[in-house]
Amino acid sequence: MGNEIKMKPIDSWDIGVIVNSQAYQDCDYMWLITTETGRPFVLKCMDNISTKERLERDYGLLLHLHEREIPVTLLLMTKAGTCCAEVDDGLYILYEFLPGEPHGPLSEHAAEIFNSYGMTLARLHAACST
């Protein structure tokens, strides 16, 4: 796909006029999109990562958590009312960009905590897919 965004997938969402798009962190599957209002979004191609069915199931879980005031980023719904867009041979999701600073090097203790957290989260994902 390259670093240039194909404009066709973004037309699946009603986010206004796009004034800037660029590859996010030099990835060839994620783009940072800015609209005329200055509102930033991330468009991500999910072809090799997920399926439409899994994205819909994950969206349901995220919505459930969001409704209970757990801070999660929700996927934005397309004009068709789905959580992802199938365009040509691609599967795309869109969500609001959450600003922040990348973290610096982790201490050994912090790395152990994040590793434990990641393993627990992986178990949660596995449990949700059965």
CATH number assigned to the domain comprising residue 100: 3.30.200.20
* Structural domain includes residue 35: yes
Report if residue 110 sits inside a domain.
Answer: no
CB contact at 8 A, 9 and 18? no
Tell me the mean pLDDT per 10 residues along the chain, length 130: 60 91 84 91 84 87 88 90 88 86 73 83 78
Cβ 93 vs Cβ 117: under 8 Å: no
The answer for 81, left when phi > 0, alpha when psi is -120 to 50, beta otherwise, is left
| pLDDT at residue 40, as a whole number | 92
- Residue 70 backbone phi and psi in degrees, to 5: -90, 125
What is the pLDDT, as a whole number, of residue 99? 74
pLDDT value for 50: 76
User: Does the residue 39 lie in any domain?
Assistant: yes
Contact between 10 and 30 under an 8 Å Cβ cutoff? The reply is no
Task: Give residue 13's pLDDT.
Answer: 94
The parent domain of residue 15 ranges over: 7-104
pTM confidence score: 0.71
- Alpha carbons within 13 angstroms on the beta-carbon side of residue 68 total 5
Number of structural domains in the chain: 1
